[in-house]
Structure 1
């Protein structure tokens, strides 16, 4: 709200560049280190030291190159105003990989309290830095304001790293660093280096897909919008409205399905390993059913109140239009996440990656082809985003059906969808009339906020009750 849509566009482009390089630098080392440390803590300590040294060299080199070549990089990305943000985010490329690596080690020794506390420290510092510098530097122009905002990535990571180093010094390292705490574990570092590197590279390939897609979008979309006749400022503003505002809102409901995925993965993996097919099939069916109902409810909310959300949160009606266009994201992405979790739990690691790669390629091609059409840029960006999620979801769903042939995934999808649509439309109309009758004298923003809260709470309660009744479950134990 401080920097406006154009500033948010600059912020998103700079962060896409940063996210791609950060993923490339860190690779899969933090996750691989967590696995190796969980197996052998003494080995994990040695790998932590060695990998820290490696990432320090790589991060320092890439961070320094980014700072010095920032003007050329900004021109390559199509906007000279990106020079300052790229320079201010460059130091984070050195510090953040080290922080991620240390958290990976702590995950391996199951010291989750320190990880959680460092996350809080990092985010508080980052947000305070962002708001303070953006407010102070907005008078110097959007590029300096955005530079102050992205600099929060460095200050937040630095504060969290210092916090963890203190924890290591006074608590963690005493617990996990001394030789006697490793018992009789053998240090077989040389044979396991190959396993460690292979695991890190495999994780890197999977994790690099999404940051690479976002980086390519940041390269292609603004350029193609300019090819369609828009100015640099207009192209950046549209990119900011969609990628930096609308997508944040439409992806929020997927936090629920993400939490569901984390809950399910270990249980499905354990039951699949023990060949308890009936229990696995039941969990999959219930997970997909709940995700479908929750995603559809959230999509209804976003469609009905997209314009109100855009005006209330960003003061921008164009964002509201984008939210309505992207309202199916909670449904599509939720199914994709759940099916990805199911496939991973059943030792099918490559299948979700194939679907994501196919979706990414299709999304990039559609972005290039559609965004450059005069007057169709906005819609082209939205179609490309939806195509990525839809292709990945369809592929995953097909693989789940193939992997679990004996299971029936039918739970009257058409019937439940029609029922939910009718309930949602009727409830929306009812709330709208009640709002006009009883809140007519209240401020407009208060009236809209109360109506939206009542709709989401009501539709959520209905979804839960309907899910419980359909599956003959007990709501209270």
Structure 2
């Protein structure tokens, strides 16, 4: 079992993700100073809208591609691997182009609905090219993850972040027009991803797995596209439902808090502390988890295609132990030092109280992230998606009915998230154990 390779790949992605997050944090500080509060509000509204649009093309499709390419690589089937890559690239490009054109043609309407102003269509148009280039970038990364080569995507992500920051900084300094700064920042998203695509494309040109004049038959293209779409739909639906349900949750929590006797400003403040101060800490372990999952899915898929079920079980155990260790350490750290941490960083004692109350959430949510990735790699993506969507709906219902109770108010949200994440973890484990038992027979 090539655990050292899995560890090396995970470390590479973890370090690149960490550097990108640090650069992103510095970039956000810069943006907050140059585009002002109103501009920052417009930027985040459009950025969140962009993420919703991209959920259709950048969640299930690249993950599916990495899975399928890993399968074919294990069988030394370069032709099928290339067919899946080329067909996925075309399909993803077509879908993203349709979405981009739809948004472009309806920019005036979206400007009124999202930004409450009909003269900001230029800002809507600025994110249209980003939909296409980010989609292509994710497909290219998915292909390399399938080949178990994480160095190229890691360098590409760093170049993307650096080029975006440099472009935005230089253009803002050159133009020196505050009203245009938000527009420049939105354009910077596309510029950064375009640099990433150029770098990965240059690496592809030198890739021995893919010839420059490679062609595929229409029949192969059709079969590969159908298989990719069929496998990616559950993962995409899972992601879309998560975005939708989280959005609904963020809207109903303040209004339900009002029913327990709080003013709306107090309710917004309570939820703002959790979403803006506590949740960034809760999601901190995900930096390692996301790096692990990206490597784990193609790695396990490869062993599955070769029928090496004992190695699959060992890799699953290894991944879960690593995730449990990181999650448990994070939970313990937040429980012991959560209040001091929030006082030092945010100067907010209430955030520390909430963080201590949610100390088990990082453990269960990290395990769910890894478990979900494992289930996707062993072709249990439909079951995993059903579990996630069902438990999210249960969480939404519980939040709706429990938050208005005066004696628990916002703690209903905290306890519900904790219990539901544990319950989701338990269901994932049950499905995984049954699947692994089947491998032994």
TM-score normalised to the size of structure 1? 0.64
Q: Does 1:58 align with 2:102?
A: yes
Query: CA separation of 1:263/1:117 partners in 2, compared to 1, >3 Å: closer, same or farther?
Result: closer
> Which deviates the most, 151-160 or 109-118?
109-118
Aligned with 1:186 (options 217, 225, 232): 217
Q: Distance in 2 between matches of 1:236 and 1:131?
A: 33
Who is 2:75 aligned against?
Answer: none
Q: Distance in 2 between matches of 1:236 and 1:371?
A: 14
Who is 2:158 aligned against?
Answer: 120
Who is 1:371 aligned against?
Answer: 403
> Which deviates the most, 386-395 or 88-97?
88-97
Give per-residue Cα distances to partners, 1:212-270, cap 9 Å, x unaligned: 12211122112222333433433322222111221111221233343333443344334
Q: Does 1:101 align with 2:135?
A: yes
Q: CA deviation at 1:391?
A: 2.2
Aligned with 1:339 (options 351, 356, 371): 371
Number of equivalences = 379
Structure 2: which 5+ runs fail to align? 1-27, 70-79, 171-177
Who is 1:401 aligned against?
Answer: 433
Contact 2:168 2:184 (C-alpha < 8 Å) held by counterparts: yes
Give per-residue Cα distances to partners, 1:132-173, cap 9 Å, x unaligned: 9xxxxxxx9xxx9xx988x7872441221442576599x479
Structure 1: which 5+ runs fail to align? 73-82, 133-139, 409-477
Give per-residue Cα distances to partners, 1:84-108, cap 9 Å, x unaligned: 9x99984565243212222134236
Q: Does 1:349 align with 2:381?
A: yes
Who is 2:267 aligned against?
Answer: 235
Aligned with 1:69 (options 105, 113, 125): 113
Q: CA deviation at 1:307?
A: 0.7
Give per-residue Cα distances to partners, 1:31-85, cap 9 Å, x unaligned: 567769953265456546534531321332565433211367xxxxxxxxxx89x
Q: Distance in 2 between matches of 1:174 and 1:162?
A: 16
Contact 1:9 1:241 (C-alpha < 8 Å) held by counterparts: no
Query: Matched residue of 2:389: which SS?
Result: helix
Q: Distance in 1 between matches of 2:301 and 2:223?
A: 28
Query: Matched residue of 1:330: which SS?
Result: helix
**Higher relative contact order structure (alpha carbons within 8 Å, sequence separation ≥ 6):** 2
Q: CA deviation at 1:333?
A: 1.8
Q: Distance in 1 between matches of 2:186 and 2:381?
A: 33
Contact 2:53 2:99 (C-alpha < 8 Å) held by counterparts: no
Q: Distance in 1 between matches of 2:42 and 2:97?
A: 33
Who is 1:283 aligned against?
Answer: 315
> Which deviates the most, 306-315 or 289-298?
289-298
Query: CA separation of 1:165/1:16 partners in 2, compared to 1, >3 Å: closer, same or farther?
Result: closer
Q: Distance in 2 between matches of 1:168 and 1:274?
A: 29
Q: Distance in 1 between matches of 2:91 and 2:234?
A: 17
TM-score normalised to the size of structure 2? 0.69
Contact 2:164 2:192 (C-alpha < 8 Å) held by counterparts: no
Aligned with 1:39 (options 62, 82, 85): 82
Query: CA separation of 1:87/1:245 partners in 2, compared to 1, >3 Å: closer, same or farther?
Result: farther
Contact 1:129 1:148 (C-alpha < 8 Å) held by counterparts: no
Give per-residue Cα distances to partners, 1:198-222, cap 9 Å, x unaligned: 4554442122122112211122112
Who is 1:247 aligned against?
Answer: 279
Q: CA deviation at 1:20?
A: 3.4
Query: Matched residue of 1:208: which SS?
Result: helix
The within-5 A match list for 1:62-461 is 64-70=108-114, 90=124, 93-107=127-141, 110=144, 115-117=153-155, 119-124=157-162, 154-164=186-196, 171=202, 181-183=212-214, 185-188=216-219, 189=221, 194-195=226-227, 197-199=229-231, 201-374=233-406, 376-405=408-437
Q: Distance in 1 between matches of 2:137 and 2:45?
A: 27
Query: CA separation of 1:352/1:64 partners in 2, compared to 1, >3 Å: closer, same or farther?
Result: farther
Query: CA separation of 1:116/1:257 partners in 2, compared to 1, >3 Å: closer, same or farther?
Result: closer
Q: Distance in 2 between matches of 1:98 and 1:118?
A: 17
Query: Matched residue of 1:163: which SS?
Result: helix
Contact 1:28 1:202 (C-alpha < 8 Å) held by counterparts: yes
Contact 2:104 2:124 (C-alpha < 8 Å) held by counterparts: no
